[in-house]
């Protein structure tokens, strides 16, 4: 770790959920990649395993989880209604 990283690790967060590294599935902290010259300004490095991911891809992951969370909450609500 060192010159490829810049700033402090941060979460990619949407609402209450934050993205988890797709590579290790453990870390939710990411560092911004320093290489500005490449068109990878939005790429983030996992603070846990060092894998590189696009910010947009991580954002998409959280969004998808938010949607499936909302759907399962809806299903739970429906199931509860049936019991009554």
Residue ranges binding Zn ion (CB under 5 A)? 21, 23-24, 27, 46, 48-49, 51
- Give 46 or 58: the residue with its C-beta nearer to Zn ion: 46
Answer yes or no: are the C-beta atoms of 53 and 44 closer than 8 Å. yes
Least distance CB 49 / Zn ion (angstroms): 3
Least distance CB 21 / Zn ion (angstroms): 3
Nearest to 59 by CA among 67, 47, 49: 67
Q: Which two tokens stand for residue 84?
A: 């009554």
Least distance CB 41 / Zn ion (angstroms): 20
Answer yes or no: are the C-beta atoms of 56 and 44 closer than 8 Å. no
């Amino acid at each position: 770790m060192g010159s490829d990283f810049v700033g402090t690790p941060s979460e990619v967060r949407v609402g209450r959920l934050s993205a988890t590294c797709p590579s290790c599935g453990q870390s939710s902290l990411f560092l911004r990649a320093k290489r500005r010259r490449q068109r990878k300004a939005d790429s983030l490095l996992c603070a846990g395993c060092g894998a590189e991911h696009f910010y947009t891809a991580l954002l998409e992951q959280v969004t998808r989880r938010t949607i499936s969370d909302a759907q399962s909450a809806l299903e739970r609500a429906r199931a509860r209604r049936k019991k009554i």
